[in-house]
Structure formats: C-alpha cells, structure tokens
Structure 1
Amino acid sequence: MTSTVLRTTAALVTTIVLGAALTSVSAASAGRSAASAPQKDRPRYASVTGAAEFVLPYVTDNDIRSFTFDAHAAPYSRPLPDAPTGLPTDARGTVKVSHYSAERDITYTSEGQVDCLVTGPRTAILTAVITKVSPGGPPDLGKRIGFSVLDGGADAGRSKDRVGFSWNGVNLLPGKGTDETPEAEVGTCMAPAPYAPVTRGGYTVHHADLLPPPQG
C-alpha cells in the first residue's frame, strides 16, 4: 500500500514539474516571438496634423496666432548631390501660419511646403519652405522656417499641446557687429523646443522610427 502511494505521489510530482517546465519554455518562446514581431499598432510613416491657436508666454497682447500642419514623412524622396537616394527625414505636406494683429485689426497669413520631418514619442520637428504670403506679411517667400510640436494627448478643456518656431527672437546671430542682430538661416528639421502653450485646438503626432536606406 505504502509503495503504491509513493509511486503515485512521485508520478504526480514529475507531471507537475514537467508541466511547469513546458509552460516556462512556451512563455519564453512566446516572449521572443512578440519581441521579434513588428508592432502593428505603430505607423510605418510619421505625421503631424491639426490646427491650434497658441500664446507666447513672454508677450501680453490680444493677438491671435495659429499654425495648421498637414505633414507626412516621405523617406528618401528628395535626392541631393551627396545623397542621391534622399534622406530618411524627407517629408511632404503643408504648413499654414496665421497671425491676427489686434493693434492693426488685420490677419497676416503664409503657407509653405514641408520638406523635413522627424519625430519622437509625442514630439516632432518639421520645416517648410514658404510659398505664399498675404499682402503686408513678412518677406518670407522662399525662406525655410522650422516648427516643433508637443502632442500632450487627449485632454478636456485647455490643451496640453505646445509649439515652437524658428523666428521671433529664438534663432539669432549675436555679436556680428551690425546695428541689428541678424537671424540665422534655418536648415532642414531645425527648430527650438515647443515653448508656446496651445490655447485652442490641438495637434496629433504619429511617431515612426526613421527607416534605413532603400536597397538595390
């Protein structure tokens, strides 16, 4: 009787240990498969879309400033002399800038074509070359300007988004010995941190890692 009980107990323990081992192997294998599998919920190409009004934290006025973005990554689509396949940050789309001057009671607008976009989780930097300026607006035709975006996520009431841009005193060349401090030229995907809080509207940043060069 005792021998039978011992044999039964030993068989049960062996079954439990073997089952646990197989479960561990299956879990490890599943973990490796999940890690190696592509993340289907992550977009292949980055984008920044949306429209919003914002305020300058260092200015008190009644002006209304807004940016509208429809920017999408288009990797390796803009050939350069030293990069014939283009760059991983190449992009397309449009940017619209609007500034209502309360003092003059007039709205100035400009539009540009996006040429560069790079993102991180909830953040983006993009640049665009200005192609249209409304009468009385700044002489920016043909000029590249930069923007930064912080997507604060879905929220109620005041938006948690922020924007930054490459003019208005953040891209200067001091110490040049001139009467006026010149503004530096903006290169592709260059902009300051998003320092201006959004007050109305918002932006959506879809992050995607930069892709390797095309093969062949």
Structure 2
Amino acid sequence: MMSLSVRRTLVAIAVLGTGLAVASASVAASADQEQKQEQEQKPRPVRASVVGSGEFVLPYHRDKDVRSFTFDARAAPYSRPLPGIPGGLPTDARGTVKVSHYSAERDITYTSKGRVDCLVTGVRTATLTAVITEVSPGGPPNVGKRVGFSVYEGGDGKGEGKGRSKDRVGFSWNGVNLLPKGTTPPLEAPVGTCMAPAPYAPVTKGGYVVTHAELPSPPASPKGSTEPAGPAPK
C-alpha cells in the first residue's frame, strides 16, 4: 500500500507538470501574438511612383502653344508576363498618362491618353513608358504606339513650386528619337520599355512628385516549382 508521503509527492509532481504545460502554452500564445503584431506593424515596401500635372515649354522652340503632361504611374513589379519571361520584370508598372497640346495657330487642343507599362526611378527622377490608347479628333494616329517620358522633380516635393517651377520633363518624340540613316527625312525610332531622353523641357506651371524605390528582387518560386518566378539572370 502506497504511503501518505509518496502519494503527496506524486500529487505535487502532477500539479507541477500541469502548471508547466499551461505556462508553456501561455508563452507560445504570447509569442504568436507578438509575432502577428510585428507583422501587422511592419511597413509595407515602398513602391516607386510618379504623379502630378504640369505645363512646359520647349527650350529650342518658343511659341504660344500650351503643352502639358499628367502622370499617375505606379510600380507593379513582376506583373506583366512576356514571352520567355513568364514572371515579368522588376520595372513593370501600371497607371495612366495624358498628353495635352493647345495649338495657338489652330486654336484647338489635342489630347491623347496612354496606359503605363514600365517605370524606373532614381532620386527625384523617373522614366516611364506608356502605350497610347486614345487620341482626340485631328491628333496624330498614335493608338497602339509606345511613347517615353522622363521627369525631374526639382521643386518642394509637393508637386508645386513658388514662381517658376524647377521641375523638368522629357519625351521621346519631336526629333529626339530618330533613325538618322535610311530615309529622308529620318524616321522616328521605336521606343522600348522605360526608354526616354533626359528631362530637357522646363516646367512652367504645376509639377510632379517622384517616389523613388529600388527595383525589387523576383518573388520566391511557388513550392514544387523548379522555374524562377522572375526573369532568369544573364
């Protein structure tokens, strides 16, 4: 027959074991809660963007025309599959551009709109391209054509300046992207993704905000897949 002292010892051990199990469960639950809170509080990665609207002048051709660009472009890395690159590119982007040109000679405003497909940024700078989807009556037959833009944010970071803006823009047509040999006059060259000249035209009204972000690495491949999610390194 078990003695009283032995029974008391076994009961104490059982109680201690139960307490340790409860304490361990409590610690694990607390750790899970802390981890969840850290994940919720962790800031989302910054995505590159360029937004704003501005009028500009051509430094090499002064006239009474009014030209403006409006951008709402945001990075969407690895979202546009291409032949041989099913994961897309780190420069993939979405958004819209609007081009407006008031002709003083004809007293008419021509507009066109485009769908952004590529965006690359640096500190206060951006290049982007868009495929034209809509042109107002009388405008150039550019539907389906890719065009390039560049932006330099030289203002106060709010898309507006005091007095004359310090922002600048550039664009891929109007004689800056030609094939100099083969035809007379030279033909305009095709524009690849994210290709644009330096921002050479001074903004005179309005302005832009460039949010810079480094190009991200490809996302991890799905489990069980042997193919990289992004483009293969060269």
What is the distance in 2 between the residues matched to 1:153 and 1:91?
Answer: 24
- Residues 99-141 of structure 1 show CA distances to partners (whole Å, capped at 9, x for unaligned) of 0000000000000000000000000000000000000001100
Partner of residue 214 from structure 1, selected from 211, 215, 219? 219
Q: Partner residue of 2:151?
A: 149
- Counterpart of 1:63 (choices 41, 62, 65) is 65
* Aligned: 1:188 with 2:190: no
CA pair 42-57 structure 1, distance change in 2 beyond 3 A: farther
- 1:179 to partner: Cα distance: 2.6
Contact 1:118 1:125 in 2 (8 A): yes
Q: Which amino acid aligns with 1:150?
A: Y
In 2: Cα distance, 1:42 partner to 1:183 partner? 41
Corresponding position of 1:45: 47
For residues 135 and 152 of structure 1, the distance between their equivalents in structure 2, rounded to whole angstroms, comes to 34
Gaps of 5+ in 2: 1-41, 222-234
Q: Could you give the per-residue CA deviations for residues 27-61 of structure 1, whole angstroms, max 9, x where no partner exists?
A: xxxxxxxxxxxxx9996110000000000000110
In structure 2, the CA distance between the partners of 1:114 and 1:158, relative to structure 1 (3 Å rule), is: same
Q: What is the TM-score with the length of structure 2 in the denominator?
A: 0.73
Q: 1:60 to 1:42 in 2, by over 3 A?
A: farther
| Equivalence map 1:51-90=2 (5 Å) | 51-90=53-92
Deviations 1:156-183 (A, max 9, x none): 211100000000000000121x232100
Q: Which runs of 5+ in 1 are unaligned?
A: 1-39
Structure 1 pair 41–53 and aligned structure 2 pair: CA distance change class (3 A): farther
Structure 1 position 215, deviation (Å)? 0.3
Q: Which residue of 2 aligns with 1:3?
A: none
Aligned counterparts of 2:184 and 2:202: Cα–Cα separation in 1: 32
**Does the 8 Å contact 1:42/1:208 carry over to 2?**
no
RMSD: 1.4
Residue identity matched to 1:215:
A
Cα shift readout 1:2-26 (whole Å, capped 9, x = no counterpart): xxxxxxxxxxxxxxxxxxxxxxxxx
1:203 pairs with one of 201, 204, 208 = 208
Whose radius of gyration is greater, 1 or 2? 2
Write the distance in 2 (CA, Å) between the matches of 1:204 and 1:42: 20
Work out the CA distance in 1 between the residues paired with 2:106 and 2:77: 42
4+ residue segments displaced more than 4 Å: 40-43
CA deviation after TM superposition for structure 1 residue 81, in Å: 1.4
What residue is the counterpart of 1:34 in the other structure? Answer: none
Identity rate of aligned residues, in percent?
76
Q: Structure 1 residue 158 and structure 2 residue 164: aligned?
A: yes
